[in-house]
């Protein structure tokens, strides 16, 4: 696999089957991180029903991430959808926080800095979707 034009390892070129499979594998990383973050929510949530929902989502995300890392490339579109959905929710949350706290430059800078990791997660997820499309277009067998 040639690493041509990779942007700090996040936006990988998809030029052959190996690079496409690697891009799909990397798309599981954002789901794993979201799953771990959801597990961390258990320590700050005090409602029982919210804890149950957090556990269900955490198990779902972590298990999906491990399925993708185990070369089950058919899950890549779902991973991309979930990553983009959580990115958009983060952007909305940060924007609402900025509105409530006022549009001071310190608040805007802090809220923009909190979007760095979600942005990298979306870049990985979109790379995985590109890898999945390459595998599908070239007739490579994919499994769930």
Closest CA to 8 of 129, 136, 119: 119
Look up the pTM and report it.
Answer: 0.79
d(CA 128, CA 23): 5
Residue-wise pLDDT tens digits, 12-64? 788 999 999 999 999 998 889 888 988 888 888 888 888 898 899 899 999 99
**Confidence category of residue 8, pLDDT binned at 50, 70, 90:** low
d(CA 61, CA 127): 18
The residue ranges of every structural domain in the chain are 17-136
H-type alpha helices, 16-139: 17-26, 28-41, 48-69, 76-101, 105-113, 116-137
Model pLDDT, residue 93: 87
The distance of Cα 36 from the centroid of its chain, to the nearest Å, equals 12
């Amino acid at each position: 696999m040639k690493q041509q034009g990779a942007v700090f390892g996040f936006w990988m070129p998809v030029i052959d089957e190996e690079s496409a499979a690697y891009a799909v594998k990397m798309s599981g990383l954002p789901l794993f991180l979201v799953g771990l973050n959801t597990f961390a929510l258990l320590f700050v949530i005090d409602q029982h029903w919210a804890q149950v929902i957090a556990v269900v989502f955490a198990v779902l995300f972590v298990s999906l991430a491990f399925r993708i890392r185990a070369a089950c490339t058919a899950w890549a579109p779902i991973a991309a959808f979930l990553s983009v959905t959580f990115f958009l929710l983060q952007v909305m949350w940060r924007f609402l926080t900025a509105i409530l706290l006022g549009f001071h430059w310190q608040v805007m800078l802090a809220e923009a800095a909190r979007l760095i990791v979600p942005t990298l997660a979306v870049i990985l997820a979109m790379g995985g979707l590109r890898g999945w499309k390459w595998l599908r277009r070239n007739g490579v067998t994919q499994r769930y």
